[in-house]
Amino acid sequence: MAETIEVLVRAGLIPHPGQPYAYVMLEDARRSVVVEDGGEPTTVFVSAALAAGLHLANTGENLEVPTAEGWSAQLHTGQLSLTSPAAPEPFLPPTALQLPHGWRTAARYEDDVVVFVGDDLGLAREQLLAGGHLVGGQPPLGQVLARAAERGMLAVGTVAYRET
Protein backbone atom coordinates (compact mmCIF):
# COMPACT_ATOMS: atom_id res chain seq x y z
CA MET A 1 0.00 0.00 0.00
CA ALA A 2 1.40 3.41 -1.01
CA GLU A 3 2.29 5.95 1.64
CA THR A 4 -0.25 8.76 1.95
CA ILE A 5 1.34 12.19 2.01
CA GLU A 6 -0.50 15.16 3.47
CA VAL A 7 1.18 18.08 1.71
CA LEU A 8 1.40 21.45 3.40
CA VAL A 9 2.26 24.33 1.08
CA ARG A 10 3.29 27.94 1.54
CA ALA A 11 4.32 30.57 -0.98
CA GLY A 12 6.59 33.45 -0.13
CA LEU A 13 9.26 35.85 -1.26
CA ILE A 14 13.00 35.70 -0.71
CA PRO A 15 14.38 39.24 -0.41
CA HIS A 16 16.93 40.08 -3.09
CA PRO A 17 18.27 43.45 -4.31
CA GLY A 18 16.14 44.74 -7.14
CA GLN A 19 13.51 42.01 -7.24
CA PRO A 20 12.64 39.32 -4.69
CA TYR A 21 12.48 35.66 -5.70
CA ALA A 22 9.17 33.81 -5.48
CA TYR A 23 9.28 30.47 -3.69
CA VAL A 24 7.00 27.56 -2.91
CA MET A 25 7.72 25.43 0.14
CA LEU A 26 6.25 21.95 0.61
CA GLU A 27 6.31 19.63 3.61
CA ASP A 28 4.67 16.32 4.53
CA ALA A 29 2.61 16.90 7.66
CA ARG A 30 3.03 13.24 8.65
CA ARG A 31 6.84 13.36 8.47
CA SER A 32 7.14 9.74 7.36
CA VAL A 33 10.85 9.12 8.03
CA VAL A 34 12.47 6.18 6.30
CA VAL A 35 16.01 4.91 5.88
CA GLU A 36 16.88 3.75 2.38
CA ASP A 37 19.63 1.21 1.71
CA GLY A 38 21.15 1.65 5.15
CA GLY A 39 21.88 5.32 4.44
CA GLU A 40 20.86 8.52 6.10
CA PRO A 41 17.25 8.93 7.18
CA THR A 42 14.99 10.84 4.83
CA THR A 43 11.25 11.25 4.42
CA VAL A 44 9.04 9.61 1.83
CA PHE A 45 8.22 13.07 0.46
CA VAL A 46 11.82 14.32 0.20
CA SER A 47 12.80 11.01 -1.40
CA ALA A 48 9.97 11.39 -3.94
CA ALA A 49 11.08 14.97 -4.74
CA LEU A 50 14.64 13.80 -5.38
CA ALA A 51 13.44 10.91 -7.54
CA ALA A 52 11.28 13.37 -9.52
CA GLY A 53 14.28 15.57 -10.34
CA LEU A 54 14.79 18.11 -7.57
CA HIS A 55 18.30 18.36 -6.11
CA LEU A 56 19.58 17.61 -2.62
CA ALA A 57 20.35 20.97 -1.03
CA ASN A 58 23.96 21.77 -0.32
CA THR A 59 25.19 22.70 3.10
CA GLY A 60 27.30 25.76 3.56
CA GLU A 61 27.05 29.49 3.63
CA ASN A 62 25.07 29.98 0.40
CA LEU A 63 22.28 27.65 -0.60
CA GLU A 64 22.60 26.77 -4.28
CA VAL A 65 19.36 26.22 -6.16
CA PRO A 66 20.04 24.55 -9.52
CA THR A 67 17.47 24.32 -12.29
CA ALA A 68 15.12 21.36 -12.02
CA GLU A 69 15.09 20.37 -15.69
CA GLY A 70 11.63 19.87 -17.14
CA TRP A 71 9.77 20.88 -13.98
CA SER A 72 7.12 23.55 -14.23
CA ALA A 73 4.90 25.58 -11.94
CA GLN A 74 1.57 26.69 -13.33
CA LEU A 75 -0.85 29.17 -11.83
CA HIS A 76 -4.34 28.73 -13.25
CA THR A 77 -7.46 30.35 -11.80
CA GLY A 78 -5.71 30.95 -8.49
CA GLN A 79 -4.45 27.41 -8.11
CA LEU A 80 -0.79 26.44 -8.27
CA SER A 81 0.44 23.08 -9.53
CA LEU A 82 3.92 21.61 -9.91
CA THR A 83 4.79 19.00 -12.53
CA SER A 84 7.89 16.94 -13.14
CA PRO A 85 8.76 15.05 -16.32
CA ALA A 86 9.68 12.07 -14.10
CA ALA A 87 6.19 11.75 -12.59
CA PRO A 88 2.98 10.71 -14.37
CA GLU A 89 0.85 12.80 -11.98
CA PRO A 90 1.48 16.39 -10.86
CA PHE A 91 3.94 16.53 -7.96
CA LEU A 92 1.59 19.13 -6.49
CA PRO A 93 -1.95 18.92 -7.85
CA PRO A 94 -3.72 22.27 -8.39
CA THR A 95 -3.82 23.85 -4.95
CA ALA A 96 -5.35 27.15 -3.85
CA LEU A 97 -2.68 29.22 -2.10
CA GLN A 98 -2.55 32.54 -0.36
CA LEU A 99 0.08 34.31 -2.44
CA PRO A 100 1.81 37.24 -0.75
CA HIS A 101 1.70 40.64 -2.39
CA GLY A 102 4.34 40.73 -5.13
CA TRP A 103 4.66 36.94 -5.53
CA ARG A 104 3.15 36.79 -9.03
CA THR A 105 5.19 39.80 -10.15
CA ALA A 106 8.41 38.18 -8.90
CA ALA A 107 7.55 34.84 -10.53
CA ARG A 108 6.73 36.52 -13.86
CA TYR A 109 9.85 38.71 -13.69
CA GLU A 110 12.18 35.71 -13.48
CA ASP A 111 9.85 33.27 -15.32
CA ASP A 112 10.60 30.81 -12.55
CA VAL A 113 10.07 30.03 -8.87
CA VAL A 114 12.23 28.32 -6.29
CA VAL A 115 10.79 25.07 -4.92
CA PHE A 116 11.76 23.72 -1.49
CA VAL A 117 10.60 20.26 -0.40
CA GLY A 118 11.72 19.39 3.08
CA ASP A 119 11.15 18.07 6.54
CA ASP A 120 10.53 20.11 9.67
CA LEU A 121 10.28 23.41 7.83
CA GLY A 122 7.72 24.79 10.26
CA LEU A 123 4.70 24.32 8.02
CA ALA A 124 3.24 21.55 10.16
CA ARG A 125 3.27 23.92 13.11
CA GLU A 126 1.90 26.75 10.97
CA GLN A 127 4.80 28.97 11.98
CA LEU A 128 5.52 30.42 8.57
CA LEU A 129 3.81 33.57 7.43
CA ALA A 130 3.41 34.40 3.76
CA GLY A 131 6.34 36.84 3.84
CA GLY A 132 8.88 34.19 4.81
CA HIS A 133 9.26 35.16 8.48
CA LEU A 134 8.56 32.81 11.35
CA VAL A 135 6.17 33.56 14.20
CA GLY A 136 7.07 33.61 17.87
CA GLY A 137 10.75 34.47 17.65
CA GLN A 138 11.56 31.40 15.55
CA PRO A 139 14.56 31.51 13.19
CA PRO A 140 14.27 33.23 9.83
CA LEU A 141 13.66 31.27 6.64
CA GLY A 142 17.36 30.95 5.78
CA GLN A 143 18.10 29.26 9.11
CA VAL A 144 15.17 26.87 8.75
CA LEU A 145 16.37 25.86 5.27
CA ALA A 146 20.00 25.54 6.41
CA ARG A 147 18.98 23.28 9.30
CA ALA A 148 16.99 21.01 6.95
CA ALA A 149 19.88 20.94 4.44
CA GLU A 150 22.36 19.98 7.17
CA ARG A 151 20.15 17.00 8.06
CA GLY A 152 19.89 15.99 4.37
CA MET A 153 16.16 16.71 4.46
CA LEU A 154 15.81 19.43 1.81
CA ALA A 155 15.28 19.07 -1.93
CA VAL A 156 15.50 22.24 -4.04
CA GLY A 157 15.13 23.42 -7.59
CA THR A 158 14.44 26.43 -9.75
CA VAL A 159 11.32 25.65 -11.73
CA ALA A 160 9.91 27.29 -14.87
CA TYR A 161 6.77 29.34 -14.16
CA ARG A 162 3.75 30.25 -16.23
CA GLU A 163 0.26 31.62 -15.73
CA THR A 164 -2.73 30.58 -17.77
Give rounded-to-5 percent helix, strand, coil for the chain.
15, 40, 45
Domain ranges across the chain:
7-123+134-163
The answer to whether 23 and 63 are in contact (CB under 8 A) is no
| Dihedral sign of CA atoms 49, 116, 107, 81 in order | positive
pTM above 0.75, yes or no: yes
Percent of the chain scoring above 90 in pLDDT:
50
Is the pLDDT at 83 greater than 90, yes or no? Answer: yes
Using the predicted structure, report yes or no on whether residue 103 has a pLDDT greater than 60: yes
Where residue 1 falls among pLDDT bands split at 50, 70, 90?
Answer: very low
- Place 6 in a pLDDT band, splitting at 50, 70 and 90: confident
Q: Which of 54, 72, 68 is nearest to 158 (CA)?
A: 68
